[in-house]
Structure 1
Amino acid sequence: MEGNLWLYRLYFRVVILLWLPVSLSAVDLPNLTFRTITISDGLSNNIINTIYKDKRGFIWLGTQTGLDRFDGINVKSFLQFSGRTIFSIAETDSVYLWVGTDKGLWKLDRKTDQVESVTLDTKSLEVRSVFVSQTGRLLVGTTHGLFIYQESAFRKVLFGSNALSSINFITGIVEGYKDTFWLTSQGGLIEYNIETGQSKVYTYQDDEKFVSYFSCLALLKEKLYLGTAGSGMLVFDIGKAAFSICPEVENGYIKSIITVNDEIWVGTNGSGIRIISASTGKELSAIEHTSNADAICSNAVYSLLKEDDMLWVGTYMGGLSYTPAHGSLFSVYYYPELFNCYNMNVRGFWVVADGKKLI
C-alpha cells in the first residue's frame, strides 16, 4: 500500500490543475484580484521578461537571471540557466523548449532536463525573439539578423548587407498572411515574405518625431500594434501601409502588447496595463498597482499572458502577478463512451511511458 500511496502523491504533484473558463473582459477589471510570487517563493529573479504557457499547462518564466517553471503551486528554477537573461520561449513539440537568452539559443529537453547550446552563427548571438509559426516552423530573431530552422539546420536572413545595422536587431515576430511575417527591430518594422525572401522596412516620421526603434508587436485583423522605446504605441494599417499614433498610449517605453478579443492590452513601463478598444482607439480601462494587497505588484509591466480565465503579469522588480483560478480545480477522469471513474473507489493507478493508464 505504501507503493500505491507514493504513486498517488507523485501523480498529483505533477498534474496541472484544470482551469474552468471565466470571462475576463475590460468590464470585469474592477473585480480582479491578483496573487504575486517573488524570489521569496522561488523565482530566480523579480524581473520577468517573458511568460510562456506550454501545451502541458506549465507556465514558464524568463527572468533577468534564469528560467523558472510554475505549476500553479510551486516554482522550479532551472539552474542550467543561472545567470542568463531570458528574453523569449517557445516549443515546437512536446519535448523540446527553445529558449532565447543574452548568451545565445538553448534547447531544453523537458523529459531529462538536459540543456543543449544551439549554434546559430560563429558567435554566441543574443536572441531576443523565438517564434513558432502555425505550420511549426521555428524563427529566431537575434541582434544580428533572423534565423529560420529548416531541415535540421538554421538559415540566416539579413535585412541589408550589414549584420550590425539596427534593422538586424530583431525584437519581435508575428505571423501575418500568405507567407508573410512581421518583425520589429531597432531599425524599423519589417515585412518579410518567407517564400520569396522579399522584405520591406517601414519607419514612422511626422513633423515632430521620427520613430524606428520598435520593441514589441501584436497583430489584430489588418492592424499591427507596435511598442516603441519612448513614444508609446503606434498602429500600423497593413492595407494602407500607414502609421498612426495611439493617443491613449503616446508616451513611454512599451514592453509588451497582447490582443484579447477586440481589445489591445498594453504593458507599460510605469503606468501599469492600459486596455484599448481596437475599434475606437479609446481606453476602456486600466490595471494599476495600488496599496491593496490583491493589486498587481508593479506598474512597470514587462510581459503579459492571457490564457482562458488567467491573466499573468510579469514586472520589473516586482515579480509575477496572476489572477487565481475560479471554479472547481478538479474534474473526474473519464474516457468517452468507455470508462468513467465517477463514484468508484480508486486505490491506485499508474501512467506508463506511452500514456496508457492502469487504474
Structure 2
Amino acid sequence: MKQYARIYTLLLMLVFNISFKEQNKTNLSKDDTRSKTVITSLGPNSDIRNIKQDKKGNVWIATNDGIFKYDGGSFTNITSKITSAAFSSILEDRKGNFWFASLGSGVFYYNGTSFRNFTTRDGLANNGVLTIYEDKTGNIWFGGEGGVSRYDGKSFQNFSMKEILSNNNFATIINAKTLESIPNIITREKLPNNTINAVLEDRTGKFWLSTRREVYVYNGETFTVFRNKDGNPFMNVRTIIEDKKGNIWLGGQDGLWRYDGNTFTNFTEHFVGQVYEDKKGNIWTTSARPNGRTWILSRYDEKSLSDIRPTVTQINPNSGRLIFGIFEANDGNIWFGSGGVLYRYDGNTVTPVNSFGIKSLMSDEFDFPSSNC
C-alpha cells in the first residue's frame, strides 16, 4: 500500500507541474508578445535595488535579474527576453511610460508594449546609470557613472561634475557653460568624481545633485558645492528628498541631515542609504548599524521631528543584506527589499511577498524596538 501511495503522490505532482506550465503558457499568450515578458510565481531572487508603484497599482521591482512587475497575484519579468542587464532604478513618467536604469547597458524606455534602449551612442553620458528623475517641465534626468544627462524627448545634454583649483583650494562654483572645457585636474588632495547618486528639483526650481563626493546645487547657470554650518561639504550622499514642508533631507556618509533653508539638523551619524517621506510626514531611512554588518529600516515619527531626541522605530530583517527601495503603497503599507526578498510592512507585521519568503515574519523574528537616537 505504501508503494501505491508513493506512486499516486508522484502522479499528482506530475499533473500539477503540467497544469502549472500550461497555465503559465496561457497567461503569457495574453501578454503583449512584443514585450517578450515571462510570467512567474517566484518573483525576484537577486538583490532588489528599487521598488515603485505605478498609477494602476502594480508594483515594479528593479533587480540584478531584470525588471519585475507584481500585479498582486503574480510576478512578470518584463526584461528577461530583452536584456540580461542588472537594473538600479525605475521611473513612471507623467505620460505613463516607464524608464529603467541599468548598471551597464544604458536606459530602457518602455511604453507598455515595446522597448527602446538609450546608450552613449544616443548621447547618454554613460551606460552605467544609478538614478532617474523627472523634473517639473517633463525633462528626464539620468545620473550615473559619467555625470548626469538631461533628456528633453529629443536629445541629451550632459553635465560632468569636474572640480578645479582656486588659489588655495578647489573652486566651489563651476560655470555650466564652460563645464565641458575645464581640464580634469587630479591632485593628491582630491580626486574628481563624476558618479551621480541622486537628482532633485526643489520647489524653488533649483536642482540638487549628489556625487560620490560633494553635493552640488544648480540654479540653471552655476553649480555650487553645498556645505554645512561648519563650511564642510556633505560627502557621498546617496539620497536627497524634499519633504512636504520644503525641508531638504540628505542621507549618506555623514548620516541623516535636514536643512530648512537656514538651520541644519543631524539625526544620526551612521551611514544612511535611502530616505523616504510617507503620507503622514514620517521619515523612513535605511542605514547601517554601528558594526557595519547589518542594516535596519528606521521610521522617524513626524510629530517628534522637532524634538531633540525624536521617536524612532527600527525594523531589522536580520538578513545581513543592504535594504533598498522604500515606498508607501496606496493602502499605506511600506514596502522594501533586502537581498532577493520583497517585504511588506503594515505597521505590525513584516511579510515577504515573493515565494523566497515562505511565511509571515512576526515581531519575534524582526526587531521592532522603539527608541530615541
CA contact (8 A) 1:102 1:125 kept: yes
Indicate the residue corresponding to 1:43 in structure 2: 43
Match for 2:248 among 214, 220, 224? 224
Shift of 1:228: 1.1
Indicate the residue corresponding to 1:96 in structure 2: 97
Indicate the residue corresponding to 2:173 in structure 1: none
Equivalent AA in structure 2 for residue 245 of structure 1: N
Can you give the 5+ residue segments of structure 1 that lack an aligned partner in the other structure? 1-8, 15-39, 292-296, 326-359
Number of aligned positions between the proteins: 277
CA contact (8 A) 2:161 2:194 kept: yes
CA contact (8 A) 1:104 1:125 kept: yes
Distance 1:163 1:58 in 2: 44
Matched, 1:314 2:336: yes
Q: 1:315 to 1:95 in 2, by over 3 A?
A: closer
Indicate the residue corresponding to 1:182 in structure 2: 208
Shift of 1:324: 6.9
Indicate the residue corresponding to 1:245 in structure 2: 266
Distance 2:82 2:184 in 1: 27
Distance 2:131 2:111 in 1: 20
CA contact (8 A) 1:46 1:318 kept: yes
Indicate the residue corresponding to 1:343 in structure 2: none
Indicate the residue corresponding to 1:52 in structure 2: 52
> How do residues 1-359 of structure 1 correspond to structure 2 at under 5 angstroms?
41-77=41-77, 78-80=79-81, 83-94=84-95, 96-119=97-120, 121=123, 124-150=126-152, 152-160=154-162, 161=182, 166-193=192-219, 196-204=220-228, 211-220=234-243, 221-229=245-253, 231-237=254-260, 239-240=261-262, 243-246=264-267, 249-251=268-270, 253-260=271-278, 261-269=280-288, 270-276=294-300, 277=302, 278-280=305-307, 282-289=309-316, 300-323=322-345
Can you give the 5+ residue segments of structure 2 that lack an aligned partner in the other structure? 1-25, 32-39, 163-181, 186-190, 289-293, 348-373
Shift of 1:153: 0.5
Q: Which has the higher strand share?
A: 1
Shift of 1:45: 3.1
> Deviation digits for residues 317-346 of structure 1, max 9, x if unmatched?
251111479xxxxxxxxxxxxxxxxxxxxx
SS in 2 for 1:62: strand
> Deviation digits for residues 257-282 of structure 1, max 9, x if unmatched?
11123321112243422122333364
Shift of 1:93: 4.8
Shift of 1:146: 1.4
Q: 1:84 to 1:283 in 2, by over 3 A?
A: farther
Q: How large is the RMSD of aligned CA atoms in angstroms?
A: 3.4
Shift of 1:100: 1.1
Shift of 1:49: 0.7
Distance 2:144 2:214 in 1: 15
Q: 1:167 to 1:219 in 2, by over 3 A?
A: farther
Distance 1:163 1:41 in 2: 49
SS in 2 for 1:272: strand
SS in 2 for 1:44: coil
Structure with more relative contact order (C-alpha pairs < 8 Å, separation 6 or more): 1
Shift of 1:87: 1.5
> Deviation digits for residues 240-261 of structure 1, max 9, x if unmatched?
2x64421xx321x322111123
> Deviation digits for residues 116-170 of structure 1, max 9, x if unmatched?
2344547743111100123322111121111111251111122334679655311
Shift of 1:66: 1.6
Shift of 1:95: 5.5
Return the TM-score normalized by structure 1.
Answer: 0.66
Shift of 1:176: 0.4
CA contact (8 A) 1:145 1:163 kept: no
CA contact (8 A) 2:277 2:283 kept: yes
Q: 1:168 to 1:321 in 2, by over 3 A?
A: same
Equivalent AA in structure 1 for residue 323 of structure 2: V
Q: 1:111 to 1:265 in 2, by over 3 A?
A: closer
Shift of 1:99: 1.1
Distance 1:57 1:94 in 2: 16
Decide which moves more: 85-94 or 62-71: 85-94
Shift of 1:172: 0.9
Shift of 1:219: 1.2
